[in-house]
Amino acid sequence: MSLVSDNAVLERPLRAPATAHPCMAGVGDYISLLKPRVMSLVVFTALVGLLVAPGRMHPVLVLAALVCIAIGAGAAGALNMWYDADIDALMRRTAARPLPAGRIAPGEALGFGMILAVGSVAMLGLVANWLAAGMLAFTIFFYIVIYTMWLKRSTPQNIVIGGAAGAFPPLIGWVAASGGIGIEPLILFAVIFLWTPPHFWALALLRSDDYARAGVPMLPVVRGGAQTRLQILIYSLMLAPVGAFPWLFGFAGPAYGALALVGGAGMIALASRLYAAGDGALAERTARRLFAFSILYLFVLFAALLAENRYAALFAGAAS
């Protein structure tokens, strides 16, 4: 089946963003270009990758590497907003962003994003290593070219494949600290990769009108709510065991294992309830709960991994 065959019926209305008045841009507009909420997840998962990786890294270098990864993620956000200004203008959730609202000119957003992208990659190479820098560059490329420019507008599988961009930060953090790739960061990558579809499709179920208006072929728009709820359940069933892999593979302890099993069961229970709810107010309420729970689930897993690792390091330090 072609990935790009499902959106033939969707036509995006052509509408240019409002005329830019660059002099009206405030500092907050440039900060919002960096998508700070997305950046917070990137920073947190990258920090876990940096700290649980083998090998000791000086705290200043950890901070510097984290800043580089955060700025790289922000650059990707700015470039995404630059390219998506036309569809952002058509969606209620994004119409007030600086580009569609006309407070920042497209060229300024492009320049801002490119400078930050090049600067963050070069700085990470100098601070940590060039493998991590190369991975950061690839992540920005993947998010902008593969996801934003291609997949987002052409297939309902957009966030499945594009979700890889959001799964890279712990891997980059691990490589920055250790200089190499092991099975552990690949498992962390897999956890976020499988977490992304249920998380975003729960949101897409609530915002399908917006996406339809903008001509973005999200799964609920192209295939309908029932198929989306089934896909959410399938990905939740895959996510629950993979979420426990860090414990099963021995690089997380029993506390993590217990939280992963309970959290995974919670994801499956909510996804099952959503699948059974059908269309209507109950489905909307359950989708909202699943969206919120998925954020908590990922945060708790990574926080538990970090806490256990730090506790073990402290214990090892005291014993030696």
- Residue ranges binding another protein (CB under 8 A): 21, 23-27, 30, 58, 60-61, 64, 67, 126-127
24 vs 295 by CB, closer to another protein:
24
66 vs 85 by CB, closer to another protein:
66
21 vs 93 by CB, closer to another protein:
21
26 vs 182 by CB, closer to another protein:
26
Please answer whether residues 293 and 270 qualify as being in contact, where contact means their C-beta atoms are separated by less than 8 angstroms: yes
CA distance 46 to 62: 10
Smallest gap, in angstroms, from Cβ of residue 27 to another protein?
Answer: 4
CA distance 103 to 180: 43
Smallest gap, in angstroms, from Cβ of residue 64 to another protein?
Answer: 5
Residue type at position 166: G
CB atoms < 10 A from the CB of 176, how many?
Answer: 30
Smallest gap, in angstroms, from Cβ of residue 109 to another protein?
Answer: 14
9 vs 27 by CB, closer to another protein:
27
The three-class DSSP label of residue 168 is helix
Smallest gap, in angstroms, from Cβ of residue 71 to another protein?
Answer: 10
Residue type at position 268: I
Smallest gap, in angstroms, from Cβ of residue 180 to another protein?
Answer: 19
Smallest gap, in angstroms, from Cβ of residue 16 to another protein?
Answer: 19
DSSP readout, 90-137?
TSTTTTTSTTTTTSS-HHHHHHHHHHHHHHHHHHHHHHS-HHHHHHHH
The three-class DSSP label of residue 35 is coil
- Which residues make Cβ contacts (< 8 Å) with residue 92, sequence separation at least 6? 210
The three-class DSSP label of residue 91 is coil
CA distance 210 to 233: 23
Smallest gap, in angstroms, from Cβ of residue 43 to another protein?
Answer: 15
Query: Residue 150 burial (CB < 10 Å; 0-12/13-18/19+)?
Result: middle
Give me Rg for the CA atoms of the chain: 20
Please answer whether residues 229 and 274 qualify as being in contact, where contact means their C-beta atoms are separated by less than 8 angstroms: yes
23 vs 281 by CB, closer to another protein:
23
106 vs 266 by CB, closer to another protein:
106
